[in-house]
Homo-oligomer: A and B are copies of this chain.
C-alpha cells in the first residue's frame, strides 16, 4: 500500500508525504502476547525434556558465511536464491541461516577437537527464507532442533526419535496425537537396486512418484512409476519408466508400513533384502526398533513407513517425519489435518563438507510456530492457562490525581503478592479506565477513593463476574442498582479477594 493509499485511512498522513508508512515487511509478522506465550511454553517444555536427555543448549549467530551454508554458493554478483544474503565490508557474502542444521555442522567442524564426543546439542531460534510469502507462509519462523554429532549408532537415531516423542508430548500434544514415521535412505537405495534403477534421474522420478502416494493413491503412483500419468486437467506427467514388475516392487515396498515395526521389517526384507545397502538399512531399523522398545516407545508413537522420502538432499541413513494426527474443522465444516510438524534424519556428510572427515550425525527439527498454531486450532492452546500475561493485570483506577502515590503503593502491594498489577496511567476518566481494564482482560479493577482511604477499605470490581452478570442483566436501572461483581472490603482482605477472583477465572 502506498503512502497515498494509507493517507485515506489516517488523515494525518496526508499532511506530509515524506512520512513513512508503518507496515511490516512482506512475509514478516508481529506477534502479540498470546502467540509469544504459546511459543515460549512450547520451548520451555521441550528444552526441559531435551536437557533431561543430556542435550546442551547452543546458540549460533543469525549470519553464516554463504559458503558455510552449503545449499548456496555465491556464483552470481548478488546471490539471493532462497536466502537473505548481503556482502560484508571485506567482500565476503554472508547470509541469514535458513535452518539450524547448517550452523551446527559449521560449529561442529570448527570446534571438533575440543568438543565432548558424541556432541549432543539442542537449539531454537528464528530462521529466514527469502521466498515468496503467502497465506501461512512466512519468511521468518522459529525452529527447534536436537542433534547428536559423532555417533554412527542407530541407537542415536532412536534416542532422537524417542526424545522428539517426549518433547512434543511435553509441549502439549496429547499421547496419540502425533506419530513419528521412520524410514531409511539405504532401504530406498536397496529398493532402487532391486528394481534395477541405476540412473540418477530415474531414481529421482521414482522418489517423486512415491512422495505423491498420499495424494494420488497406489493407482496414480503406479502410472507415475511407469510411462506417466494424465491428470484431470489433461496435463501429462512423464513417468519414471519402470517395468510393470519393478513398479509393483516399489508399490509393495511403500505398502509395507502397516502393522507393528517388526511386521514392517519382515515385509521390507522380502522386497529389499539381499542388496548390501538394503540389508544395512534393515539392520539399522532393527536396532532402532530395539532401542525404541527399550525406551518404551511403541508403534502407536513411532512406526516404520517406507513411503517417507523426506529431504533427500543430505540424508544418508534413517529419516523421520513427525505427523500430527490432530485435526480441526474449517469454516465450511470440513475436517482439516495438520500433517507434518517436523522431521529429521541422519546426515553423515555435512560436517565433512568442512573437514573432509566423515562425521556421523543425526537430528530432529520441528516448526515451533506451526506446532503452536496446530495446538490452538485443536483447542489445546496452552496460553489460556498459567501465570502468563495473556490475562491482563489488576488495574488500580487513577481516581484522584492527588492520590497517585497511594495508588502506586497499592499496586506495589499487589505485585509483592505475586499478582500482576498496574496503576492506570492514561488521562481518561473512570468509564474509559474500566473499558481499558476490560480490553486487557484484567481479572479485577481496584478503586481507592477518599471514602475507602478514610475507612481503611478498598473497592474491588470482579471484571470476570461483571462480564458474566452483564450478559444476564437486561434492565439498565437494575444494573446500576446491583453494580455486579463489586464489593467494598477491608484493605487486609484485598489480596485474598484477588486470589479468589483469579482462581475462579
Contacts and interface: CB of A to CB of B under 8 A. Distances in A.
Interface of A: 10, 12-13, 15-16, 19-26, 28-33, 35-37, 40, 51-65, 67-68, 70, 80, 84-86, 88, 90, 92, 94, 96, 106-107, 109-111, 116-118, 120, 126, 128, 140, 148, 150-153, 155-156, 158-159, 290-291, 293-296, 353-357, 387-390, 392-393, 395, 404-406, 408-409, 412, 415, 418-423, 425-427, 436, 439-440
Contacts of A16: 356
A86 to B, nearest CB: 5
A147 to B, nearest CB: 12
A285 to B, nearest CB: 15
Given A13-B356, A68-B22, A353-B19, A140 B61 contact: yes
For this chain, the copies found in one complex come to 2
A422 B295 CA distance: 12
18 contacts: A12-B355, A21-B354, A23-B65, A24-B106, A25-B94, A30-B60, A30-B111, A31-B60, A32-B56, A54-B389, A54-B421, A62-B128, A86-B86, A118-B426, A151-B426, A152-B427, A159-B423, A293-B405
Contacts of A151: 425-427
Given A28-B63, A409-B295, A51 B389 contact: yes
Contacts of A155: 404, 408, 423, 425
A23 B68 contact: yes
Contact of A22 (B40, B56, B94, B106): B106
A357 B12 contact: yes
Contacts of A357: 12
A19 B356 contact: yes
Contacts of A68: 20-23
Given A61-B25, A412-B296, A419-B52, A356 B425 contact: no
